[in-house]
Amino acid sequence: MLSDTTQLLRQVTTGLLYPAGVGFRWEAFEWPGTGGLPNPDWVRRRGFHQASVPASQLSVDEFFAPLEQDRDDDRAVPARYRVVAAAVREHLSDAIVVRVGVGKVTVYVVGRTPDGLWAGLKTTAIDP
């Protein structure tokens, strides 16, 4: 059974597409284990990516800032991203964003739940 935090993350991203590239869905996940802090190498291993695949880290604020900005054509999507970002900030400690890959990139938003699990969201982006 998923933790309350993971269920909340799933709920706030239901039907929400990541706008980079094709528009992939978000998936909530949990990883067992405790100790340490997440970093790109750790996320790459936990996500079962090869060691040779590039990975880079962003802060939660850097990642969500452009997604939260209102656009003239659509204000509903940025409003939803503000809810997602608030849920991440409130319910995941030590949260970071890690992009793994080149071209077709897996994006992880990961942090520690109040229960001590590692949890977060992942999606796919297609970089130009």
* Per-residue pLDDT tens digits for 47-101: 999 999 999 999 999 999 999 987 766 788 899 999 999 999 999 999 999 999 9
Q: Total structural domains in the chain? A: 1
Confidence (pLDDT) at 21: 59
The amino acid that residue 25 corresponds to is R
The CA distances from residue 100 to 1, 52, 85, in Å, are 27, 10, 20
pLDDT of residue 106: 97
| Burial class of 49 by CB neighbour count within 10 A (0 to 12, 13 to 18, 19+) | middle
Domain that holds residue 72: 4-126
| CATH number assigned to the domain comprising residue 48 | 3.40.1460.10
Q: How far is 82 from 120, CA to CA, in rounded Å?
A: 16
Reference 98, options 47, 57, 50, 61; nearest CA is 57
